[in-house]
Amino acid sequence: MESGSWATDDRQGYQTSTSVARRIGTRGGAMKIQAVSLNNRKKAFQVKTSKRTLQLPYSKVDLKPSAADPIVRVFVDKELGSEGFTYVLKSGKEGTVHSEQVLAYNQDPHYLRDALLYKLTVEAQKRVEASALSKREIIRRLGTSATQLYRLLDQTNYSKSVDQLLSLLHVLDCDVELLVRAKRATRKAA
């Protein structure tokens, strides 16, 4: 496959570009991929979404291509609901990459926020189950409704805020500590 050309899905014979709902991160489902191409000069996949084009280096995938076993075909995988892509090496081996792997590598802020909300929600669910407080008492202390509590405990609801989850965890007598640290430099200064 040529570097920089957008892939078509040969199995179904149509361009992989589709109309896609607005989506970056995990809100409302995984990111839909419109097209994927190879950039052999940068040794990376170029993943086109409705909003932008992201890159994922070959070195970050499980089945790594080499000079002896290069990528011969790449396509948006319809079996994954356009939420991932598959690549085929010259040897016939196939590798699949999910859109979340691309978002995590590119440090997408919406994806990272949603990942934090998910972790806090799962922890809140565990704490509510283990708590001696009844759900009615938790609702009273939060000053909210039963519906709002169930929204806070729903891990698929990303319209809630971190502040709301922290309030819930505080009512459950939990101390939440956030650790902020600088990333290690990945490149050497010239």
Taking the mean position of all CA atoms in its chain, how far away is CA 187?
Answer: 24
The tokens describing 144, both together, are 């909210």
The tokens describing 94, both together, are 């196939």
Contact present, 25 and 31 (Cβ < 8 Å): yes
H helices present in the chain, as ranges: 99-105, 109-130, 135-142, 146-152, 162-171
The tokens describing 40, both together, are 């052999």
Whether pTM > 0.75 for this model: the answer is no
Q: What does the pLDDT read at residue 183?
A: 75
Listed residues 74, 105, 136: the one ending a domain = 105
User: Does 96 share its domain with 122?
Assistant: no
User: Does 149 share its domain with 89?
Assistant: no
Residue 101 lies in a domain: yes
- The boundaries of the domain holding residue 136 are 109-171
Contact present, 63 and 95 (Cβ < 8 Å): yes
d(CA 162, CA 99): 24
d(CA 139, CA 42): 53
Q: What does the pLDDT read at residue 7?
A: 43
Q: What does the pLDDT read at residue 10?
A: 40
| 122 contact partners, CB below 8 Å, separation of at least 6 | 155
Contact present, 121 and 176 (Cβ < 8 Å): no
d(CA 61, CA 137): 48
User: Does 47 share its domain with 101?
Assistant: yes
User: Does 97 share its domain with 122?
Assistant: no
Residue 2 lies in a domain: no
Residues of the chain short of pLDDT 50, as ranges, are 1-28, 189-190
